[in-house]
Amino acid sequence: MKILVAEDDNIARLVIEFTLRKFGHDPVSAANGDEAWSLFCASSFRVIVSDWMMPGTDGLELCRRVRARKTDYVYFILLTNLTANTENQHAAIEAGVDDFLSKPVDPQELWMRLRVAERILQFTTEVRQLESFLPICGYCKKIRDDSNYWQQVESYFKQKQGTQFSHSVCPDCMEKVVRPQLAALGIKMNEAKKNAPVKK
């Protein structure tokens, strides 16, 4: 897994890189929050391991920026020397942090956090795939919306995306449905076309 590491301490950053490679991951490192943000914008990362206190953009601000972007869910692990008091924890959670690790990083602790991250990211991917399915009736073709209400395809897409529909008849339905119905009424196709209303 490709993991973005934001750490301004050179030694700490090298230790984290080494540990991640040992676990089979692909670390991409940044020496500060601004550099990490540039890397994040330029590429795709599902996990970020970031120090809290960095010059310029700190870990919390980096997390806020990541959360503000509409991308696939990113699991954010915050590294800190700060005492894990209620105030600090509250500030980090409000910024969107998923997990905490104390510095210096314990390799076993990091491994456990990454296993949790992998599970959560797998679940979010599965949920997104499920949400991409539209329940549609096999008979009348109505679609079930988020409120468990069945509505016509046209109404659903107009509500969700503002899409306008123009109605027509495909060649298959023309042969299988329209022509037989007209024939049953004793109307020939040429007469139907001739008597059709003219659009102005």
Residue 150's φ and ψ, nearest 5 degrees, are -90, 130
For residues 50 and 7, the answer to whether their CB atoms sit within 8 Å is: yes
Per-residue pLDDT, 125: 78
200/8: higher pLDDT:
8
Band (178; pLDDT cuts 50, 70, 90): confident
Q: Considering the chain, what percentage of its residues have pLDDT values greater than 70?
A: 73
Rounded to whole angstroms, how far apart are CA atoms 145 and 143? 6
pLDDT of residue 200: 47
Which of 12 and 166 is assigned the larger pLDDT?
A: 12
List, for residues 8-64, the tens digit of each pLDDT value: 999 999 999 999 999 999 999 999 999 999 999 999 899 999 999 998 999 999 999
- Record the tokens describing residue 136, joined without a space: 């549609």
Domains in the chain: ranges and CATH? 2-131 (3.40.50.2300), 134-164 (no CATH), 171-195 (no CATH)
